[in-house]
Amino acid sequence: MQSQTNIHNVFLFTTINNLITIIEMNDDLYKEYTLPPHPDNMICTLPS
């Protein structure tokens, strides 16, 4: 029973870490998209 609880805690911890990572990635993407056009960011823009 004890080992099962530990596995569950590790799973929860991993899930929370993954969520935080995704949120940080989204924040970076948001910053990238809101920057004015720049040679490095041209890949992100769709051809008009």
pLDDT digit string (tens) for 22-45? Answer: 777 777 776 666 556 655 555 555
Q: How many domains does the chain have?
A: 1
Whether residue 5 is predicted with pLDDT greater than 60 in this model: the reply is yes
Q: How many whole angstroms separate alpha carbon 31 and alpha carbon 28?
A: 5
pLDDT of residue 33: 62
- Please give the residue range of the domain that contains residue 36: 2-44
The answer to whether 45 and 37 are in contact (CB under 8 A) is yes
The DSSP 8-state label assigned to residue 48 in this structure reads: -
pLDDT of residue 11: 82
Q: What is the mean pLDDT of the chain?
A: 69
pLDDT of residue 21: 80
